Amino acid sequence: MAKLIGNAPNQVPTNADLGSMAFEDRTNYITKNNPVHQPFRNIIINGDMSIAQRGTSATGISSGNTYHTVDRFATELGGLGTWTQTQSTDVPTGQGFAKSLKMDCTTADATPSVSDYAIIKQLVEGQNLQYLKKGTSNAESVTMSFWVKSNKTGTYIVELADRDNTRKISQAYTINTSDTWEKKILVYSGDASGAFNNDNGNSLDCYFWLGAGTTFTSGTLNTSWSNPSASNRAVGQVNLADSTANEFYITGVQLEAGTSASDFEFLPFDVNLERCLRYYQKSFEYDVTPVAGVSKSEYQHIGNYTTNEFAGLMSLYKKEMRTTPTVTLYTTSASSNGTGRITFYNGSSWSNATASIHSGSTSKNFSVTGSSFPNIVLAQYNYEAEAELWWQV
């Protein structure tokens, strides 16, 4: 039967035919005719923009390098306008997406300074990239695909940056029709120079440029892996910040090995959230933005370690984090006047006081200690823990 299939490729074997084939022939047939998609082939985490632990909207974004709404997608601004970012429900029809990331220009900058820029980005650990074989003669090409929509038509740039070896490559795409969802596919050649570090550090940056001054646009676009001049990084990029009417939506971001784009790899919500928890998590309910005065909290019974001191309040992370995180405490009292404090009960009344964090070196837990907690019986607090990757343009 195996020989017959080889001579007649349009013939479909029955289950009995497959059962009679030699193991090698059966495996080859199934692999060739029924390819199985590689799980987790998307290097990008949360590319469907479905997870937004920090909140669904952030206003007045005018500078900085931080995460505002959608998990794993940071915003970096260098003096180019003011923005509102939201997790939007505006998505391409019939593609399976429920959420997108939206950037809305609220203060325009039609004449940017030479060094101004605006970027949405995701950063990737080196240990997740080893199969790309970068730095060898077998280096894999990669393909970036995504859905995008904007009223600002024209040329945009997506740049990949190898942070371990200071090498970059850029590709341009065009938004052709105003206010219309369009799918874009960009192919980046493999790089035989410079291997990614095999660790939990930042090795690859994926930059979606929204605008840039002449520092980044005055040269020739760098479409091959190299250590380019800054002027070659975003050549041709439109200025999305030139009008308060401008909006930009993106979803379905996928980066995968090879020279063609496969269908977007949808993951169950819980699996997607689990991947995001490695970089950011909180004790608040999923849809609650971290703030003082939220009643749901870590709630622990404890006695004094010394007269006015306690120790040993231990919180376990939901998932082991990428590295020892930065932990911020929140009291459960709205009148606590800031973060870095906890709420405690002394047997007759509740009070708030400053506490210190001692995060576990294994990134699995942290403890809270402090002083001036007379007769402490109970302690309440919320927290958020961040172990994101960081890098600036």
Q: Is the confidence at residue 47, as pLDDT, over 60?
A: yes
Distant-in-sequence, close-in-space partners of 3: CB < 8 Å, separation ≥ 6: none
100 bridge partner residues? 88
Q: Provide the pLDDT for residue 22.
A: 54
| Whole-number average pLDDT of the chain | 87
Query: What pLDDT is recorded for position 16?
Result: 52
DSSP string, 178-214: TT--EEEEEEE----S-PPPSSSSEEEEEEEEEEE-H
CB 251 within 8 A of CB 96: no
Provide the Cα torsion 273, 278, 280, 282; round to 10°.
Answer: 70
User: Closest by alpha carbon to 203, among 126, 121, 122?
Assistant: 126
Q: Which helix (H) or strand (E) holds 19?
A: helix 15-20
Which tokens is 155 given?
Answer: 């040329």
**How many C-beta neighbours within 10 Å does residue 98 have?**
12
Statement: residue 28 has pLDDT above 60: no
- For residue 171, count other CB atoms closer than 10 A to its CB: 18
244's torsion region: left (phi>0), alpha (psi -120 to 50) or beta? alpha
Q: What pLDDT score does 368 carry?
A: 74
Q: What pLDDT digit, counting tens, does each position of 246-259 carry?
A: 999 999 999 999 99
> Does residue 342 register a pLDDT over 90?
no
Tell me the per-residue pLDDT of 222-237, one tens digit each, with 9 for 90 and over: 999 999 999 999 999 9
pLDDT tens digits along 262-313: 999 999 999 999 999 999 999 899 988 888 888 766 666 565 555 555 555 6
CA angle at residue 236 from 235 to 242, to 5 degrees? 115
Residue 74: predicted pLDDT:
97
Predicted confidence band of residue 5 (pLDDT cuts 50, 70, 90): very low
Name all domains of the chain by residue range, CATH numbers in brackets.
Answer: 2-33 (no CATH), 57-277 (2.60.120.260), 298-386 (no CATH)
Summarize the confidence of residues 146-150 as an average pLDDT.
98
- Number of Cβ within 10 Å of residue 286's Cβ equals 10
Check residue 26 and give its pLDDT. 45
Contact between 134 and 120 under an 8 Å Cβ cutoff? The reply is no
Q: Indicate the pLDDT class of residue 346, thresholds 50, 70 and 90.
A: confident
Residue 8 has what pLDDT? 43
